[in-house]
């Protein structure tokens, strides 16, 4: 298992009270055993969904205060024999990927299991994208939420919520810089997240 890291320092807006917009949605858990998190994302539901093979999936999140992550986490609920990777990208103001922050390494997808990849990354306040890339289409545990960061459809309709950002790409190590997503799905429910993390600091 490989792990590549890069220091990051993208900017983020602040509100009228001079506090960065948004709030981190995590709690520290017990001493030495922090809880699983998706920074800044307010979850509204839990379900499962199959991913699309040979497609890079991006999941936006906002960091409002410096944090250190020590794990990337996902849960496979229905396995399909193959491989996948999780990682993090910096994102620009349009939520497109820029430089790679960390490629957490490869893991097998053939068995239902919780997957944890050890990393050691400090994120400064800014915009980021979790990413998931696989050469098969297993089903993952997902939560929905966070659409206030990714916005809504250009023209309001019965399906205003973006549910994914993705781009077709043959499976392999996560590219650096990232490949811009060109496929957005719109539905009646908020964005879905299949990649989680563990925050070790603060």
Specify if 118 maps to a domain: yes
Q: Is residue 125 included in any domain, yes or no?
A: yes
- Bigger pLDDT: 35 or 191? 191
pTM of the model: 0.84
Concatenating the DSSP letter of every residue in 82-120 gives SEEEEEEEEE-TTS-EEEEEEEEEEEE-SS-EEEEEEEE
- Give the residue numbers spanning the domain of 134: 4-8+39-201
Helix or strand (DSSP H, E) at 128: strand 126-134
Give the full edge-to-edge strand order of the sheet including 83-91: 4-5, 97-108, 83-91, 126-134, 55-63, 161-168, 183-187
Q: Provide the number of structural domains found in the chain.
A: 1
Would residue 15 count as lying in a domain? no
Largest CA distance in the chain: 50
pLDDT 10s digits, 26-56:
455 555 667 788 998 888 899 999 999 999 9
């Amino acid at each position: 298992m490989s792990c590549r890291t890069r220091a990051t320092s993208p900017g983020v807006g602040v509100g009228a009270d001079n506090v960065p917009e948004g709030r981190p949605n995590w709690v520290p858990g017990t001493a030495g055993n922090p809880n699983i998190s998706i920074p800044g994302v307010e979850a509204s539901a839990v379900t499962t969904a199959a991913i699309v093979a040979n497609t890079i999936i991006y999941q936006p999140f906002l960091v409002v205060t410096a944090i250190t992550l020590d794990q990337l986490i996902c849960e496979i609920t229905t396995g399909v024999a193959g491989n996948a990777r999780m990682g993090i990208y910096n994102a620009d103001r349009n939520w497109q990927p820029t430089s790679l922050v960390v490629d957490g390494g490869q893991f097998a997808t053939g068995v239902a299991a919780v997957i944890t990849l050890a990393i050691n990354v400090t994120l400064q306040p800014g915009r980021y994208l979790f990413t998931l890339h696989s050469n098969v289409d297993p089903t993952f545990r997902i939560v929905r939420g966070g659409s206030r960061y990714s916005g809504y459809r250009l023209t309001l309709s019965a399906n205003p919520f973006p549910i994914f950002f993705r781009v077709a790409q043959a499976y392999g190590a996560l590219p650096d810089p990232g490949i811009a997503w060109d496929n957005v799905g719109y539905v009646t429910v908020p964005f879905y997240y299949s990649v989680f993390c563990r925050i070790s600091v603060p």
